[in-house]
Amino acid sequence: MEELSYEIYIDAPPETVWNALVTPEGTRAIFFGSVLESTFEIGSDYAYVGPGNDGERTVHVYGKVLEYDVNRRMSYMEHPGPSYRENHEELETRVTLTLEVVGAVTKLKLVNDRWPEGHPSYASTKQSWPMILSSIKTYAETGKTLNFGW
139: pLDDT strictly greater than 80:
yes
Q: How many domains does the chain have?
A: 1
- Phi/psi for 85 (5° steps) reads -145, 130
pLDDT class of 147 with cuts at 50, 70, 90: confident
The pLDDT assigned to 52 comes to 87
pLDDT in tens, 18-60: 999 999 999 999 998 899 999 999 999 999 999 988 888 999 9
120: pLDDT strictly greater than 70:
yes
Range of the domain at 23: 4-142
Span 103-129, average pLDDT: 96
pLDDT in tens, 6-18: 999 999 999 999 9
pLDDT in tens, 93-110: 999 999 999 999 999 999
DSSP 72: T
Domain for residue 66, yes or no? yes
136: pLDDT strictly greater than 90:
yes
pTM listed for this prediction: 0.93
Domain for residue 94, yes or no? yes
Domain for residue 81, yes or no? yes
- Please give the Cα distance from 137 to 19 (Å, whole number): 12
Q: Is 6 helix (H, G, I), strand (E, B) or coil?
A: strand
The pLDDT assigned to 55 comes to 81
Domain for residue 13, yes or no? yes
- Please give the Cα distance from 97 to 55 (Å, whole number): 28
Average pLDDT of the residues of the chain: 95
Domain for residue 150, yes or no? no
Span 68-94, average pLDDT: 95
Domain for residue 29, yes or no? yes
Here the CATH number for the domain that contains residue 32 is 3.30.530.20
Task: Report whether 103 contacts 3 (CB < 8 A).
Answer: no
The pLDDT assigned to 150 comes to 64
